[in-house]
Amino acid sequence: MRDLLAGELDKTRVGRTWLILMAAGLLLAVITVLSLISDAADAKSVTAAATRSTTNDTVRYWMTMHLFSALFGALFVTREYTSGTIARSVLLSGGRGRLLTAKAVASLAAGAAFALAAVVFAAAAPWTLMPAYGLHAAWTGTTTRVLLGVAAVTVLGAPWGVLVGWIARNSIGALLFLLVTTMALDPYLHDWIPSVGKYLLTVAMGSVYLDTDSDLLPVPVALAVIAAWLAGAWYLAQRLVRRRDVL
């Protein structure tokens, strides 16, 4: 298993997919954060509470990286179906279950790399971007918890993407599912039926990075909900991988 895991870790660095997705995630976060800071700077009065809130938002919205971490995880699996190398990978790995496990574990390392980039830029943003708009950062304990939450959901995004990739087996299908659920379906369902929507994966992740929505789960419960989603996807992926042809 150690050699298999080392091989899958090497695969995470093959090509420029990870680099392109990481750059796209950082670019989207920069655009979002600059828009938030600009709106805050245009306010008629900047109170201490507003400054703390803007600082938290300036850190919080690097959470967009979790989507790109998930997209990488999905492509990490589906590109082998697209290229036709998945059968060879299964044979060399010693079994479908072993390969699924190795890819899921290796994706955690990739997710950690995405998270590291998010944390570095998120931590620097209040001190570099806010002054450009005449605002001063007010880092608090809440800001630190927001930063830790951003890191956590970004790491967890990668194995979620891997499991979606195993289930979908198709790159376009997997990417569309992740984009639609993350950016549209989950948020809109939460707005429509908050009592149910707060248990959706994307919304539960919002609880972890302390989103400002008032109808969210407590962080420990949200982490349990995320674990349940991952466990459910793991169960479904295992069953489908073992039953379906690998080509």
**What's residue 96's pLDDT?**
81
Q: Model confidence over 188-242: pLDDT tens digits?
A: 988 888 888 999 999 999 999 999 887 899 999 999 999 999 999 999 999 988 8
pLDDT for 44 equals: 64
* DSSP 8-state class, residue 94: T
Burial 132-148 (b: 16+ CB within 10 A, else e): eeebebbbeeebebbbe
Q: Could you report the per-residue pLDDT of 64-115, keeping only the tens digit for each?
A: 999 999 999 999 999 888 887 887 777 777 778 888 888 889 899 999 999 9
What CA–CA distance (Å, rounded) separates 167 from 64? 23
> Which residues contact residue 167 at a Cβ distance below 8 angstroms, ignoring those fewer than 6 apart?
174, 233, 236, 237, 240
98 secondary structure, DSSP code: H
Question: Is 62 within 8 Å of 33 (Cβ atoms)?
Answer: yes
pLDDT tens profile 107-162: 999 999 999 999 999 999 999 999 988 888 889 999 999 999 999 999 999 999 99
What is the Rg, in whole angstroms, of the alpha carbon atoms belonging to the chain? 19
pTM exceeds 0.85 for this model: yes
